């Protein structure tokens, strides 16, 4: 059994076919620390290794899904011993590239998982948090939730191609050129989100979708996902 420090892995005995991964740094709005990407991958692998699990739901504890990378850890302390070194001199872009590529591969475990993944988004899924959400197969948002990649205005671009994949070139450029966020209602209209519901109905909507998917044999779900991907 894996001991996680940045997330929780849960299975409700009443819904044994649904594995739940809960990002669990609510005091930092579930901001991405150095250990979180690898733990997301490990949790996905754990769900895939469980023959009883048919679908994975990813959510965030507290007030948000994920507020992006934890800049307190990655940007505010240039002398800290961490793999990102944007403030160090001389700056080596390949060091940052190697780190961000590894994190992206960790997030993409959600996309490559043979078992369907659902992101349940409330509050904010922004910056790197939007990368995580958009690596899931399906995305259910609260209508008042916000999603976007604000750092495009000052500091980089999304590390996955999911904005273009889900929105098409024109709307992806609209989001990247402005760094704007959109709410769940707009995300559903644009086809970015599978559905958007009032915040007080988010849990019920995701449970209903997960239960519906969980009724399909796992091997059949994997086949469908392989064909579409």
C-alpha–C-alpha distance, residues 56 and 14, integer Å: 15
* pLDDT value, residue 167: 95
Using alpha carbons only, how large is the chain's radius of gyration in Å?
A: 17
Instruction: Express each pLDDT in 4-35 by its tens digit.
Output: 999 999 999 999 999 999 999 999 999 999 89
The terminus-to-terminus CA distance of the chain in angstroms comes to 30
Residue 37's closest CA among 62, 77, 76, 5? 5
Per the CATH hierarchy, to which homologous superfamily does domain 7-223 belong?
A: 2-enoyl-CoA Hydratase; Chain A, domain 1 (3.90.226.10)
Residue 121's closest CA among 31, 26, 206? 206
pLDDT exceeds cutoff 90 at 134: yes
The DSSP element (H or E) to which 169 belongs, if any, is helix 169-178
Domain ranges of the chain: 7-223
The DSSP result for 210-225, as a single string, is HHHHHTS-HHHHHHHH
* pLDDT value, residue 95: 79
pLDDT exceeds cutoff 60 at 82: no
Model's pTM, two decimal places?
0.91
Identify the band that residue 92 occupies on the pLDDT scale cut at 50, 70 and 90: confident
Residues forming a β-bridge with 8: 22
Which of 74-88, 94-108, 145-159 is least confident?
74-88
C-alpha–C-alpha distance, residues 54 and 40, integer Å: 17
Q: How large is the average pLDDT for residues 68-75?
A: 80
C-alpha–C-alpha distance, residues 8 and 118, integer Å: 16
pLDDT exceeds cutoff 80 at 108: yes
Residues in the chain: 229
Q: How many CA atoms lie within 13 A of 177 on its CB side?
A: 6
């Amino acid at each position: 059994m894996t001991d996680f420090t940045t997330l929780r892995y849960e299975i409700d005995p009443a819904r044994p076919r649904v594995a739940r991964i809960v990002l669990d740094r609510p005091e930092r709005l579930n901001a991405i620390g150095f250990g979180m990407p690898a733990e997301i991958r490990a949790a996905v692998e754990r769900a895939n290794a469980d023959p009883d699990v048919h679908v994975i739901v990813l959510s965030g504890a507290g007030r948000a899904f994920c507020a992006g990378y934890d800049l307190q850890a990655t940007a505010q302390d240039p002398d800290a011993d961490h793999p990102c070194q944007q403030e160090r001199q001389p700056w080596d872009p390949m060091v940052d590239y190697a780190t961000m590529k590894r994190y992206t591969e960790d997030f993409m475990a959600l996309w490559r998982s043979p078992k369907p993944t659902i992101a349940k988004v409330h509050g904010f899924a922004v910056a790197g948090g939007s990368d995580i959400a958009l690596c899931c197969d399906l995305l259910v948002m609260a209508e008042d939730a916000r999603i976007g990649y604000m750092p495009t205005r000052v500091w980089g671009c999304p590390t996955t191609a999911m904005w273009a994949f889900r929105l098409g070139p024109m709307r992806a450029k609209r989001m990247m050129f402005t760094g704007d966020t959109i709410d769940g209602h707009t995300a559903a209209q644009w086809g970015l989100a599978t559905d958007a519901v009032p915040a007080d109905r988010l849990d019920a909507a995701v449970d209903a979708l997960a239960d519906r998917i969980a009724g399909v044999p796992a091997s059949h779900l994997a086949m469908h996902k392989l064909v579409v991907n």
